[in-house]
Structure 1
Amino acid sequence: MIYRFRAILDTEEDVYRDLEIEATATLEDLHNSINQSFGFDGAEVAAFYLSDDTWMQGEEFAQFDMGEGEGSLRIMNETTLDSILDEKQTRLLYVYDFLNMWRFLVELAEIAEPEDGVTYPNLMYVHGQIPDQAPHFEMEAQEKDEDEDDEFNDDYDVDDFDDLNFDENWN
């Protein structure tokens, strides 16, 4: 089976690439295809995230196992596309270069049969030019309920030490 994706740069302008890749390819293969189709050299760290219908970030698929988390981290080169994507789960977020934050919305548009004479992965369509710099975006903060207790919501001024009750010569 062949997965047909549209990888959209998260920007105001329409910049996207349509790609075909084998369903049994890995996320690392998709990562390389996206990089090549957008003209990146692939030298920066990247990650994929499962996404829901509202493009909320879900489970991470890292490029490398940094060994910092308590749970088992799934790695791109060990994860096949068909093991995480199907007709119901079609969306991924892709972040390339965590310093500049190139963000892509990647959606599985179609599952098709392979065509004779086509080499996969295959760049099917190119639309728009990638900007010189990564688009700036704001992370949406979750709004807190005003009635919710906030352990840091107090009347202390962190720059005013005169009113704090402690002995300066404690040691």
Structure 2
Amino acid sequence: MIYRFRVILDNDTEDDVFRDLEIREGDTMEDLHNIITQSFGFDGMEMASFYVSDDEWNQGEEIAMMDMSEVGNKVKMMNETIINEIIHEAATRLIYVYDFMNMWTFYVELGEIVEEAQGTDYPNLMYVHGQIPDEAPEKTFEAEEEESFNDPDSYRDDADLDLDDYDNLNFDENWN
């Protein structure tokens, strides 16, 4: 079977930037990585990872290009993971991050599963919309938006506390 994906650049520009592509369900996540990088004009030499995602695009389990995990923590590797082990009718979304220095972020969604077409080479770039900007779009993380991180008066500076002065530490003795 052939998986048809739409890969959308996460950006805040006016123009949408996306690619529609086809790939065999039995190909690896590394094959998917390769067609994504090629279709957006990247050389594919930077670090990248896929993340399993839910319907709200929350980042889940990582599928890494290279194993950078600590000893004892097993990470799925792109070259060892078959696409249909991760993506299927019940789990259709991935987040793809390319170049961790610039954080190019893409939303990858399975659009449909079709029969393989005779005479078509896979993976196959079906449709191109929009041009990728010269620089990765800036990311705004939720914590950066919260006022407490930008307002130095909103948090307590513990550097002035005297930890030996128990009477002035404001402990609630009946906290438990």
Amino acid at match of 1:7: V
Q: Equivalent residue for 1:44?
A: 46
Q: Secondary structure at the match of 2:31?
A: helix
Q: Equivalent residue for 2:152?
A: none
Does 1:135 find its partner at 2:137? yes
Q: CA deviation digits over 1:148-167, x for unaligned, max 9?
A: xxxxx7552x3x5xx6468x
Q: Equivalent residue for 2:149?
A: none
Within-5 A mapping of 1:119-158: 119-141=121-143, 156=158, 158=159
Segments of structure 2 that go 5 or more residues without pairing to the other structure are 147-154, 165-176
Q: Secondary structure at the match of 1:111?
A: strand
Q: Equivalent residue for 1:106?
A: 108
CA distance in 2, matches of 1:135, 1:69: 34
Segments of structure 1 that go 5 or more residues without pairing to the other structure are 145-152, 167-171
* TM-score normalised per structure 2: 0.81
Q: CA deviation digits over 1:63-82, x for unaligned, max 9?
A: 01124264311000000001
Identity %: 59
Amino acid at match of 1:97: D
After superposing the two structures, state which structure 1 stretch, 75-84 or 65-74, moved more.
65-74
Q: Equivalent residue for 1:8?
A: 8
- Stretches (4+) displaced over 6 A: none
CA distance in 2, matches of 1:96, 1:104: 8
Within-5 A mapping of 1:79-98: 79-98=81-100
CA distance in 1, matches of 2:71, 2:112: 34
* TM-score normalised per structure 1: 0.83
